[in-house]
Structure 1
């Protein structure tokens, strides 16, 4: 993506705007960039627990599913943040204008609660920047083909920021949160985790999918496709943060550290579908059920076409299990089968580059967990990720074990094992 000189997109998450002091601090940081001559567009999330509070209000009046009216309600949180941010900037002598998603020209698909951004016109955003103002845009929302507000679902504000940066051809998209950047593991459960100054977009996308909560997968995938440089920074400090960008590395290609991080996810359910004495391939039907509810699957394995019993195993998010439980039971019951859900599991992954080409890494992972007495079940390997299922109560132990096994607390790439070792 060819960048435009002196255009910067900043995004502030809910924790970065939790109190009015946080809002003032964010406005001060934006004002500093503006006073350096940078044209700044800001994307904001709802403050603190505002979205959860609105969801509880909706539940109290009987709302249970995503709908047009629920999106109308949830959009209030980001609109409040944008107006407060613009007012705070005005108080600092920085001209600013707040814009809702529809006002900013953010168009989405028609799926309420989980819409996708289809295009951004950004006419009013450009007008504001050209007039020397800071444009403060609501994240998480846009307008569908009927002219109704549609929210973007989890990670929507991050995705809004990256999409806007791509549309404006900004030099970078700075995402401010409550942590110093991206770490080699979750520092909340592993204090020895190391801050990563740079992460490849493909690796970051795998980390996000496998449980790292700093950035959402949708945001990083879009950044990679559009060539947007993303910087993850702490809104409360001057820490250098982490840059997510595709760049040439000065280290030799085949002697760099292959494992970059260990991630974990306890929002996991293991699902086993089985039907005895059936020749029909039910895999397309199973995937159709999952797709209908927007359920993402991982670690998929299945029986072969010549076996008399159909078996298929996969993992889904535990929080999404109820969305497919009934439909899968109804599908398999029609063929004399059943479905088993195991929600007492966690997924632990090592993420990096070239892992499939180095089978010794899978061997080391399995040996380290076995030595630590941590039972494992399903495993999946790819060039960028090795994931394994462990008992939920041993997830943190598995993260610590693998972080130590691959020497991720060290700054030098000393964890390589040659193929002949």
Structure 2
């Protein structure tokens, strides 16, 4: 065992083990599968032991869900997990075959075969442990191990999928259990940017980002990494390296150093994140003095659905109100459960779905309310109405009309100087000065 080259890992680690993860777009065609195989073969040729975690190819998961819905919209969740897991298994087997073609010994493993243990509901499982004995044995024999991500096996032997972004979480969990030197995440974007480069071509790639900041970016809507994967990496003090599958750039190193210099900016704001998959949920009860907050949040806990931008009032004068944002794709599962929990308590639920969430991510935002003021002023000057607001040390989020969300991204990115290399967010832009003088 040696110290990791980054100096940020969880104590002693094996720099001889490399874990790579490839997303669905990286494997969408057979040509891309062969490209990834050549990348993996090159890493294996250096003498390191290589584990590769893969997602389902292209839109395979969406196609499997469509087929299940057409077969029976009320399909059992267990069977849907069995079906969806097959997409990652196919990717793993295809990549192993492509590696064999290059003369590289490789073995593909489904979730249960790879020792990934999970618990929780079908469709949103949580990894509890990774039994690495078989992986280590195969690595010692000189094989590349290709693991089907997004899945684990529960205590009764059933496959449980891990929800959106589950392959990221699989890769981080495997790297942590193997005490790997690093975990490389390969995507169609060559690193972490100051905003989504697919939406804002003028955004800039960051050479390094703090893990805590990256966790906020991911939760706020940045699509490159899943929030649970980043949280796990932070807990395990594991270094992540995000790189482009089809690019030669160095990408972005994500570590837990906590030093402001890794934020690559003189200012406080590091990036702008946006999330169109948002719904606002309002809970209202009249005629009962009972505090319903615990009942409401218990539903989220039972469904393992994260909640954001929480606001509440009461109970007073026989009235209780509570509001929060959730991912819109969770609403179909959430709404019946909330209705059921509140029916006996005299409560009602209303959902507004035409909203999006815009977030500033950085350091020290809670101590600097002027940043929230600047954001609101810049959006107001452009005629963009903001409603709910939440601020922490690492993130300031607002909800805006969904049809203006991308406009808001452009405005915020420009307002805080993120489109100008070397410009710090502490310097107000012309937009802000003009809005102050109106």
Give unpaired runs (5+ residues) of structure 1. none
**Any idea what SS the aligned residue of 2:180 has?**
coil
* Between 298-307 and 263-272, the greater mean CA deviation after superposition: 298-307
| Counterpart position of 2:134 | 124
* Between 10-19 and 323-332, the greater mean CA deviation after superposition: 323-332
Which of residues 274, 287, 305 in structure 2 aligns to 1:295?
Answer: 305
| Counterpart position of 1:342 | 352
Give unpaired runs (5+ residues) of structure 2. 1-9, 429-438
For residues 404 and 91 of structure 1, the distance between their equivalents in structure 2, rounded to whole angstroms, comes to 49
For residues 159 and 65 of structure 1, the distance between their equivalents in structure 2, rounded to whole angstroms, comes to 26
**Any idea what SS the aligned residue of 1:102 has?**
helix
| Counterpart position of 2:373 | 363
For residues 260 and 268 of structure 2, the distance between their equivalents in structure 1, rounded to whole angstroms, comes to 15
For residues 320 and 364 of structure 1, the distance between their equivalents in structure 2, rounded to whole angstroms, comes to 32
CA deviation string 1:83-137 (max 9, x = no partner) = 1111111111111111122111111115322111111111111112111211111
Which of residues 165, 173, 176 in structure 2 aligns to 1:155?
Answer: 165
Kept in 2: contact 1:274–1:332 (CA 8 A):
no
| Counterpart position of 1:183 | 193
Kept in 2: contact 1:203–1:351 (CA 8 A):
yes
2:42 is the counterpart of 1:54: no
For residues 103 and 332 of structure 1, the distance between their equivalents in structure 2, rounded to whole angstroms, comes to 42
Deviation for aligned residue 1:251: 4.3
Deviation for aligned residue 1:247: 2.3
For residues 101 and 291 of structure 2, the distance between their equivalents in structure 1, rounded to whole angstroms, comes to 65
Deviation for aligned residue 1:305: 4.1
* Between 351-360 and 101-110, the greater mean CA deviation after superposition: 101-110
Which of residues 335, 358, 367 in structure 2 aligns to 1:325?
Answer: 335
Kept in 1: contact 2:114–2:131 (CA 8 A):
yes
2:137 is the counterpart of 1:100: no
For residues 143 and 333 of structure 2, the distance between their equivalents in structure 1, rounded to whole angstroms, comes to 45
| Counterpart position of 2:227 | 217
For residues 251 and 275 of structure 1, the distance between their equivalents in structure 2, rounded to whole angstroms, comes to 48
CA deviation string 1:5-31 (max 9, x = no partner) = 221001111110111111100010011
Kept in 2: contact 1:110–1:145 (CA 8 A):
no
**Any idea what SS the aligned residue of 1:291 has?**
helix
| Counterpart position of 1:138 | 148
Deviation for aligned residue 1:312: 0.8
Kept in 1: contact 2:266–2:425 (CA 8 A):
no
| Counterpart position of 1:401 | 411
TM-score under structure 2 length normalisation: 0.91
**Any idea what SS the aligned residue of 1:342 has?**
strand
2:181 is the counterpart of 1:171: yes
Larger proportion of strand: 2
Which of residues 110, 124, 132 in structure 2 aligns to 1:114?
Answer: 124
Kept in 1: contact 2:308–2:324 (CA 8 A):
yes
CA deviation string 1:318-340 (max 9, x = no partner) = 22122222343455454554322
CA deviation string 1:306-354 (max 9, x = no partner) = 4432111111112212222234345545455432211111110000111
Q: Alpha carbon RMSD of aligned pairs, Å?
A: 2.1
